[in-house]
């Protein structure tokens, strides 16, 4: 691009992209696998259970999962081993350093779709932010590998704010646009959450799914005719241990803890629900008013896809009434919780039908606690 004279310093969302794995696990399949594991565990430990030395495991059910979350299915990168009671984790051959890593591969696929939808050549992009909660390695940065694969001459870095990574990435990209340090920035969220989920834990074995999303944030002066003005953003963090994963390279310094449950996803779900819903709802209402927007006038809410009950309460507090499926669309039922990608999937799949001038909100919330709000208006 040689259009520096057209730059406005106003950030917009030019396009989004989505990669969805072909494998799907239904609740019925998941429950059947989990219950086989439970029955085998209880049989193998019958004497110890009888003696009170080992706690018997409880079976799961489709009804329990749907009532607790609203989830009916999820996409994964490796269905077979996850459903195998002997494994219950993803499995695939380790790739050499010369091969494109799996996280980069799915991130590139989402990015290319976003670029195609915007009519943008990758060579015109200035930066890549890999904003996700499940990084494949500490270094080199996933973003730089993605940048290399796409042929972008610029810079890239990784950022992790758990489920809020994408919205934090969008604000970061928007700030680069406002400051003139970039004209076009890809925010990519490749989430292989199946790798950090304890598929043998009844309270959480159904929560997550795999996916990758991409958001192209650009200066309004070079954006396609149809785009979304970023009216304002707000980020918030409050420390909490109620959602946590203690896996890391320092685990090897304390070998007694290796392999324990806290080295995968753990949460206190009821506490999260009670504390996060009011925090997020208040943030949205306050910031909408700060930006001169009527929160009850927002045409659509693209909320983090973690729990149907949480979204229902947040939407009701923001809009002032029970939200319809049109006002607060869900993808949770078929994608499950995809961490930072959830609200972007909802936006990607449920935004084309809105009219010029309609305003909406992309909102995330999760571990940290963290929450991010991106207020947008459609331009067409």
Catalytic residues: 163
User: Dihedral (C-alpha) 135, 137, 139, 144: value to the nearest 10 degrees?
Assistant: -50
Identify any residues that bridge with 243 across adjacent strands, giving them in sequence order: 267
Output the CA angle 272-275-276, nearest 5 degrees.
75
Residue written as token pair 């004279």: 5
Q: Using DSSP, how many helices (H) and how many strands (E) does the chain show?
A: 11, 13
Strands (E), the chain: 11-19, 23-26, 73-76, 127-131, 155-159, 184-192, 210-219, 227-237, 243-244, 266-267, 300-303, 359-366, 370-379
- What angle, rounded to 10 degrees, do the helices at 62-69 and 27-44 form? 120
Query: Nearest Cα to 22, choosing from 78, 105, 81?
Result: 78
Q: DSSP per residue over 289-310, as a string?
A: HHTT--GGG-SEEEE-SS-HHH
Rg, the chain, Cα only: 21
Distance between CA 116 and CA 202 in Å, rounded?
A: 41
Number of C-beta neighbours around residue 151 at 10 A: 10
Terminal CA-CA length for the chain: 22
d(CA 151, CA 153): 7
Distance from CA of residue 34 to its chain's centroid? 25
Residue 330: helix, strand or coil by DSSP? coil
Return the closest-CA partner of residue 265 out of 179, 347, 336, 328. 336
Say how many CA atoms lie within 13 Å of 215 toward its Cβ.
35
């Amino acid at each position: 691009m040689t259009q520096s004279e057209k730059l406005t310093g106003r950030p917009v969302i030019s396009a989004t992209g989505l990669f969805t794995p072909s494998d799907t696990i239904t609740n019925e399949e998941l429950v059947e696998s989990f219950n086989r594991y439970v029955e085998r565990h209880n049989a193998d430990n019958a004497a110890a259970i009888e003696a009170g030395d080992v706690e018997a495991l409880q079976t799961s059910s489709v009804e329990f999962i749907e009532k607790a979350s609203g989830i009916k299915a999820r996409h994964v990168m490796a269905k077979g081993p996850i459903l195998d009671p002997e494994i219950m984790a993803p499995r695939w051959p380790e790739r050499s350093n010369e091969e494109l890593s799996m996280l980069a591969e799915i991130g590139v696929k989402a990015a290319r779709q976003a670029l195609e939808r915007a009519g943008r050549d990758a060579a015109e992009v200035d930066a890549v932010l890999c904003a996700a909660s499940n990084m494949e390695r500490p270094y080199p940065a996933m973003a730089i590998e993605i940048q290399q694969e796409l042929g972008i001459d610029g810079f890239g870095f990784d950022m992790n704010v758990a489920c809020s990574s994408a919205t934090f990435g969008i604000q970061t990209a928007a700030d680069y646009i406002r400051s003139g340090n970039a004209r076009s920035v890809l925010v990519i969220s490749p989430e292989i959450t199946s790798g950090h989920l304890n598929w043998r834990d009844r309270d959480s074995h159904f929560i997550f799914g795999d996916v990758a999303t991409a958001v192209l944030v650009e200066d309004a002066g070079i954006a396609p005719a149809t785009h979304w003005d970023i009216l304002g953003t707000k980020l918030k963090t409050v420390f909490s241990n109620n959602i946590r994963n203690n896996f890391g390279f320092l685990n090897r310094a304390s070998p007694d803890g290796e392999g324990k449950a806290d080295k995968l996803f753990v949460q206190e779900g009821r506490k999260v629900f009670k504390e996060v819903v009011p925090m997020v709802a208040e943030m949205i209402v306050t910031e909408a008013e700060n930006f001169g927007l009527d929160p009850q006038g927002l045409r659509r809410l693209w909320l983090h896809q973690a729990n149907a009950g949480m979204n229902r309460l947040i939407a009701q507090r923001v809009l002032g009434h029970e939200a319809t499926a049109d006002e607060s669309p869900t993808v949770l039922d078929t994608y499950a919780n995809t961490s930072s990608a959830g609200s972007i999937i909802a936006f990607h799949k449920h935004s084309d039908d809105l009219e010029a001038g309609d305003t909406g909100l992309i909102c995330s919330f999760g571990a940290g606690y963290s929450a991010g709000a991106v207020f947008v208006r459609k331009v067409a």
